[in-house]
Structure 1
Amino acid sequence: MTEQQRLSPGDAAPEFTLSDSEGTEVSLSDYRGKSVVVYFYPAASTPGCTKQACDFRDNLAELNDAGFAVLGVSPDKQAKLAKFVAEEGLTFPLLSDPDKAVLTAYGAYGEKQLYGKTVTGVIRSTFIVDPEGKIAHALYNVRATGHVAKLRKDLKV
């Protein structure tokens, strides 16, 4: 197995600018001064990713009220993200990273175990970026189901 970059609390969050489901460019720096939940998921419209996105949607008001913005990132193309947003009524930006540069910078793309086999792909991960642009929490290999509830508990939201 190759050694993958992993971020830790206190590290500077890798800056990025990606297009959202409507083609609008969104940069992490747009959120400077706020806390941001940046979560990486494998593919829009798959069962686990749909569950996770809907959990974020259903808890967005509480997260926003506590000062957290939410951004989802996947390698999906803009058109697939737009369909996913429309089908699920998602109310936060989903960002397209087709070349996987941002996924890789966050350590959210690489070798992982899937059904007992080593494969290369998106590692479901969540990061809390503080208002100064530093990593406050780095969570790798999270589960889609129950993740938002655990995150809210950990963040005391």
Structure 2
Amino acid sequence: MNLITVGDYAPDFVLKDNRGDEIRLSDYKGQKVLLSWHPLAWTRVCAQQMKALEDNLAEFEKYNVVPLGLSIDSYPCKNAWAKELGIARVKLLADFWPHGEIAGKYGLFREQEGFSERANVLIDENGKVLWVNLYSIPELPDITEVFNQIKSL
């Protein structure tokens, strides 16, 4: 599947978060949403990426943006990881089964490795994609860059 691009409507989804709750993208209509994709839980750069969402939650809220962390890990794994990292408020979504299905719909699933790209996808209040940025797997997304994009739109 092709990478989602600016102007596309983001595919809706229902995924379990780290608490086992079902989260629908469409539930956030009226708010911007940042889908922050990371390859795998329990890895250093992914941990830093998700902690940056939690550490900057007040800033996201100031701009009416809901940050969500996504990977192909199961929700029990994401729950244990969130507790380990001290992530109490940001929802970490599990694109576990069917394995990587939502990452695939966004063009972010790496078939050969079986996990998603590292990427940020910013979606507007009506479900339209405003910004997409792919990162190399070892690269930590710059949270300042994310806020610069949010402020510029």
In the superposition, the TM-score normalised over structure 2's length comes to 0.89
Match of 2:70 in 1: 73
Q: Distance in 2 between matches of 1:80 and 1:102?
A: 18
Separation in structure 2 between the aligned mates of residue 119 and residue 24 of structure 1, nearest angstrom: 27
Do the aligned partners of 2:71 and 2:115 also contact (CA within 8 Å) in 1? Answer: no
Which of residues 84, 89, 94 in structure 2 aligns to 1:87?
84
Residues 76 and 66 (structure 1), Cα distance of their counterparts in 2 relative to 1, 3 Å cut: same
RMSD between superposed Cα atoms in Å: 1.8
Q: In percent, how many aligned pairs have the same letter?
A: 28
Which structure 2 residues correspond to residues 23-38 of structure 1 after superposition, within 5 A? 23-38=20-35
Structure-2 separation of matches of 1:139 and 1:10: 14
State whether residues 37 and 68 of structure 1, in contact with CA within 8 Å, keep that contact through their aligned partners in structure 2: yes
Shift of 1:120: 5.5
User: Secondary structure in 1 aligned to 2:56?
Assistant: helix
The answer to whether 1:101 aligns with 2:96 is: no
Q: Which has the higher Rg, Structure 1 or Structure 2?
A: 1
Question: Any gaps of 5 or more consecutive residues in structure 1?
Answer: 112-117
Q: Secondary structure at the match of 2:26?
A: helix
Gaps of 5+ in 2: none
Q: How does 1:17-56 map to 2 (within 5 A)?
A: 17-56=14-53
Aligned to 1:12: 9
Q: How many residues align?
A: 148
Q: 1:119 to 1:84 in 2, by over 3 A?
A: closer
2:59 is aligned, of 59, 62, 65, to 62
TM-score (norm 1): 0.87
